[in-house]
Structure 1
Amino acid sequence: MLHIVIPVFNRLSFTLACLDSLRKQTDQDFKVVIVDDGSTDGTAAALNDKYPEVKVLTGTGSLFWTAGVNLGLRYALDQGATWLMTMNNDVVVYPDFVANMMKAANSRPPALYGAYELDAVTQEPIYSGGWLNWRTGSFRRLLDDVAPDQRRGQWPSQNLPGRGLLIPRVVFDRIGLFAADILPHYYADYDFTHQARLAGFEVYLNFDARLGTYPEESGDQHNRKRKSLRNYYNHLFSIRGGANLRDFTQFARRNCPPLYLPLFLANGYMRRILGYWL
């Protein structure tokens, strides 16, 4: 049985749209677990009223993404889940999303699968995985490597985000949950998929499993769009800062080959410190 784990903090309209899209799936053989981490916008009441089939777990109000996901994953694993999926509430999935994910999952030995992300409004491609160059700190996107008419099926990828990430239970048995103690919000999903690869599991981007995202709605986008010294500080040091220097350092130390670590860190710090203003 597949369990889909969605951490939530406010933004009720996104959560409702996400759950509505899951209700429209052609394959309904799954359960949804919402981790409501102290929402103050009526999320708990709305879920209880509109989605009685959804399991709601209550957080402490300070879980952030990683600990929130882990809370839901522990519950799902205790329920006997054989496949688990992490998903953000600010996505909407296409009707055949679950069906195409499970079709891929049953086509080969246990592997991890990520979603093909499109802009929910314009339908333009946003993200499809890729490969990180440890020496230069650059990222080669599958969107650049794979022509539009070839974007189907599954393509190997190095790292994947947690927005629609399908994971077999055996991965958790081998490497544990997400690294909430050192990566509380950003980088935890990329860290997890890379750690899974190091443990011998293959990682694929599934072009057949599409979801819509709202790229302007991430917490760090507000820091980037409203340039100020305060937002610059949040960008670099806040838990929700997309360029958080501490978390980047932790990710690099855990995953980068030692030979390239000094150069990777230097390139990464430069991109993050200067990139905000550029």
Structure 2
Amino acid sequence: MNCDRLAALLTCHNRKLLTLACLQALFHQELKGKLTIDVYLVDDGSTDDTAEAVAQSYPQVKILKGDGSLFWNGGTRLAFAEAIKDDYDYYLWLNNDTLLYPNALSHLLETFDHLRDQGEHRAIVAGSTCDPQTKAPTYGGVMRRSRWRPLKFDLLEPGESPQRCDTINGNCVLIPRAVVQVVGNLEPAFTHYAGDWDYGLRAQRQGCTLWVAPGYVGTCSQNYKPGSEADESVALGEGLKKIGQPKGLPVKEQVLHPFWEWKIFAQRHGGLLWPLYWLIPYRRLLGISLIGGSEKKAE
């Protein structure tokens, strides 16, 4: 009997306990068929002994070193490149703060098998996650809000059967070999955000399809919560500095991506009106700054 091979790709910067918990859930999956799992973990300059703890608890994990500048896209891209050399049947993007349910991998693979039987041989399958406390959906597949907002995406709540989506959050994604042979690796132009969305949109252009698996495959807290302290008024100069950093600037309902990375994304996926869509998100930063400045003058 043939044994399928899967490469799980993770990247981390500190968060030792979360990383260990993620790996524990991954290595305790209840698998229905023959499957071997190899884990590629990029330790991106951790200072809390994450790599040492992983090596001690899970010596089978292949640990790759970063210098702290890779972030999610760069780290996952490095792990992906290393795994592609061994030509796996499947690749799994997995955030190190995602805790998989025991049947998560079997569920993703069964969803892919079902889609393949329907003729979808190049199907990417996103696994949806929910908040561990509230059970509210946090990550998974996303849909464009409208044809007039091609760069604005809304999370698609999973249903009882696989659903098409426009692109994906990278927290838990199953990618078969047939997709990788066409699309390849993540785009190096992105550092932290937008690389997962870009991959899904590029995959669609190259004849692949994107799907959300039924139900939830695990839990993952939302890294950015609208209404948090990060939403408070920010000076324009400080805001511009922050959106030049890899993680951008959280404001209200979104995160402002690094300015030039967002330009690449808009140019690639925004159509003829991409300059407008590129600049729209930053109007909020200017508005917040002006309002904040006016309030300070009135005090």
Alignment TM-score, normalising by the size of structure 2: 0.81
Instruction: Give the Cα–Cα distance (whole angstroms) in 1 for the partners of residues 288 and 112 of structure 2.
Output: 38
Please, what is the CA RMSD of the aligned residues? Answer: 2.7
Which structure's relative contact order is higher, taking Cα pairs within 8 Å and 6+ residues apart?
Answer: 1
Quote the residue 2:130 is aligned against: 118
Identity across aligned pairs (percent)? 26
Q: Secondary structure at the match of 2:256?
A: coil
1:1-278 aligned within 5 A: 1-27=5-31, 29-107=36-114, 108=116, 109-132=121-144, 133-136=146-149, 137-143=151-157, 151-180=159-188, 182-215=189-222, 217=223, 224=230, 228-229=234-235, 232-233=239-240, 235-241=242-248, 242-244=255-257, 245-258=259-272, 260-271=273-284, 273-274=286-287
Change (3 A) 1:232 1:31: same
Aligned length: 269
Q: Kindly indicate whether the alpha-carbon contact (under 8 Å) linking 1:153 and 1:207 is maintained by their aligned counterparts in 2.
A: yes
Q: Structure 1, residues 135-163: CA drift from partner, whole Å, max 9, x if none?
A: 135434423xx7xxxx2221000010111
Instruction: Give ranges in structure 1 of 5+ residues lacking alignment.
Output: none
C-alpha separation in 1, matches of 2:77 and 2:139 = 24
Change beyond 3 A, Cα 1:223–1:255: farther
- 4+ residue runs over 4 A deviation: 218-223, 225-228, 271-278
Counterpart for residue 295 of structure 2: none
Secondary structure of 1:84's match? strand
**What letter corresponds to residue 270 of structure 2 in structure 1?**
C
Q: State the 1:126 CA deviation.
A: 2.3
Name the structure with the higher helix share. Answer: 1
Kept in 2, the 8 Å contact 1:160–1:189? The answer is yes
Report the Cα distance in structure 2 between the residues aligned to 1:66 and 1:138, rounded to whole angstroms: 20
Inter-CA distance 269–232: structure 2 relative to 1 (3 Å threshold) = closer
Cα 1:57–1:21, aligned 2, differ >3 Å: closer, same or farther? same
* Separation of aligned partners in 1, 2:48 and 2:95: 17
Q: 2:297 aligns to what? A: none
* C-alpha deviation, 1:134, in angstroms: 4.5
The alpha-carbon distance between structure 1 residues 10 and 33, as it changes in their structure 2 partners (threshold 3 A), is same
Q: Give the 3 Å change call, closer, same or farther, for CA 205–274 of structure 1 in structure 2.
A: farther
Q: Which has the larger radius of gyration?
A: 2
SS in 2 for 1:58: strand
In structure 2, distance between residues paired with 1:54 and 1:30: 10
| 1:66-96 deviation per Cα after TM superposition (whole angstroms, max 9, x unaligned) | 2211211122111221210111111111111
Q: Distance in 1 between matches of 2:156 and 2:285?
A: 23
Q: 2 CA distance for matches of 1:101 and 1:74?
A: 22
Does the C-alpha gap of structure 1 residues 105 and 219 become closer, same or farther in structure 2, counting only changes over 3 Å?
same
* One-letter code aligned to 1:4: A
For residue 110 of structure 2, give the secondary structure of its aligned residue in structure 1. Answer: helix
Higher share in strand: 2
- Normalization by structure 1: what TM-score? 0.86
Unaligned runs of 5+ in 2: 249-254, 293-299
Superposition deviation, residue 50 in structure 1: 0.7
